[in-house]
Structure 1
Amino acid sequence: MTPVRLFLALLASRTSVACRKAMFRVLIIGLGITVQSGLAMADHEHETDQSDIINVIAIEYPPLLGEDLENYGIIFELLSSYANDHFKIRIKPLFLPPARAKQNMTNGHWCLSTYPADSNDIDAYFVRLLDKTIKIGLYRKRRAGNTAPFRWNSLSELGGSSIAILRTNVQSPYIESLMRAGIKPVYVETRHQAFQMLLGDRVDYAQGDNLTLDAMPDISASAVEFSDTVMFETESGFYYRKSCADQVFKAGHAPHLIENQPSDELVQ
């Protein structure tokens, strides 16, 4: 019998007042235990849900990393793809100010990070996510008869133009350098939106990288052109602590263990 039905039955019964009071006390205690048990189970489930998530230390570095960027930026996008194949836990970015990120790394309060580990940290291991570097530049719309190389020596040469850029709440030095050169940033929510604006002649350029078109098969490579001039480039990868490997990686997937395995020739 459910607690509600038991309560109704108790009201309808002809037992004495004292007996009903005693039964009420038992019922209330029982309901309290039930509620507490339910809350404890809910807390346990919440803890279980959180236990398989590990923070990845990161700093705002638009357009590569950012809390407000699409998929948190291309670096985290690549890391998430890698995690699906090799991690046994889920990941989420923890964006910190640079000084705080460095402090966490120095104190060993981390397992995964896109922020560089100290070069003297023998427990840190770098995993390259791509063989080639990520190059940040500009895309322009291809136009008939325009065969001039897409390059510049100074941003001031692009003064008066507009560039579609992924929106971020951080006023980075990069954005400031564009504005000082007289370039108007036009903020968009997604890379796809940036290219739609470019192809629709609503902006002069769209910011992107040398991997952008790989993620957008509906944008024809013959319709746009990537700049010869690169604004900056970086390796794509992340760091992990070898002492955290068992907590993070699927069995046999930790790169530092794979590299240390003897080859078949050595085993024979």
Structure 2
Amino acid sequence: MNRWFFLLAFLPCAWVFGQNESTQQTVQVIAFDYPPYLQAAADDGGLSFQALRAALLGSDWLVEPLFLPSARASHLLANDEHWLASFMPPPAGSGDVDRVPLNNTRVKSGLFRIPGPGAFIWSELSELSGHSVMITRTATMGGLADQLKDAGLLVIPINGIDQGLSMLLSGRSDYLLSLEQTGYYFADQQGIAREKLQFRRPC
């Protein structure tokens, strides 16, 4: 049984779902709240569900978002063999899982910090060795935490980007790993002036 892990972005993909020649079928897609891409409060589920539905136009598949807390979603992906599609990365070594990019829009992933002296420029994670970085518990599933630790960073798991911004402003960590649009989305929601944050991707 093939299952699908949908990427927020990357390169176009010609194949998403197989066609069903008889009747329309609804598939539940596991998701976690990560505005504006995955958004439980939005009627359409956010930008990524918009892209998924656009990719499925003309097919016999209908999409039903299944938003879960990250811990519950992780448990389901690891222990339930009957899930079919997810925006959350499955555990490493999961068999019969196809990675499906949805479009050619490149999201900007990088680090937020509090503005300070000196230029905020980096090209390799090892240049940040000895500092602390916050990542969501969801992001730890794909092996990202190990990459950061191998580069000499102290990894601090957080429940969400909103929590990470609060901790960043209070000086409890040096960096916050996030998509740029998501970080600024939560900053706006929390009334944090954007000039109080600095975002950089690797050069």
TM-superposition CA deviations, 1:173-226 (whole Å, max 9, x none):
321111011101111111011011110001011111221244221222100100
How far apart in 1 are the matches of 2:127 and 2:111? 13
Task: From the superposition, tell whether residues 99 and 72 of structure 1 become closer, same or farther in structure 2 (CA, over 3 Å).
Answer: farther
| RMSD of Structure 2 on Structure 1 (CA) | 3.6
TM-superposition CA deviations, 1:225-256 (whole Å, max 9, x none):
001426xxxxxxxxxxxxxxxxxxxxxxxxxx
Task: From the superposition, tell whether residues 215 and 169 of structure 1 become closer, same or farther in structure 2 (CA, over 3 Å).
Answer: closer
Q: 2:124 aligns with which of 154, 167, 178?
A: 154
Q: Which residue of 1 aligns with 2:171?
A: 201
* TM-score, length basis structure 1: 0.44
| Residue 81 (1) aligns with residue 46 (2) | yes
Task: From the superposition, tell whether residues 223 and 203 of structure 1 become closer, same or farther in structure 2 (CA, over 3 Å).
Answer: same
Larger Rg: 1
- The 4+ residue runs of structure 1 with deviation greater than 6 A are none
Q: Show structure 2 runs of 5+ residues with no match.
A: 1-23, 55-61, 68-84
- Give the secondary structure class of the aligned counterpart of 1:134: coil
Deviation at residue 100 of structure 1 after TM alignment: 1.5
| Residue 90 (1) aligns with residue 55 (2) | no
Percent identity over the alignment is 22
Q: 2:100 aligns with which of 105, 116, 133?
A: 116
| Residue 100 (1) aligns with residue 96 (2) | yes
- Give the secondary structure class of the aligned counterpart of 1:186: strand
Q: In the alignment, residue 174 of structure 1 is paired with which amino acid?
A: L
Deviation at residue 74 of structure 1 after TM alignment: 6.4
Equivalent residues of 1:213, 1:219 under 8 A apart: no
Q: 1:225 aligns with which of 192, 198, 201?
A: 198
Q: 1:71 aligns with which of 6, 30, 33?
A: 33
Task: From the superposition, tell whether residues 180 and 227 of structure 1 become closer, same or farther in structure 2 (CA, over 3 Å).
Answer: same
Q: Which residue of 2 aligns with 1:166?
A: 136
Correspondence list, 1:18-33, <5 A: none
How far apart in 1 are the matches of 2:46 and 2:36? 11
Q: Show structure 1 runs of 5+ residues with no match.
A: 1-50, 59-66, 103-114, 118-125, 231-268
User: Could you say which structure has the higher helix fraction?
Assistant: 1
| Residue 140 (1) aligns with residue 136 (2) | no
Q: 1:210 aligns with which of 161, 180, 190?
A: 180
- Give the secondary structure class of the aligned counterpart of 1:71: coil
User: Could you say which structure has the higher strand fraction?
Assistant: 2
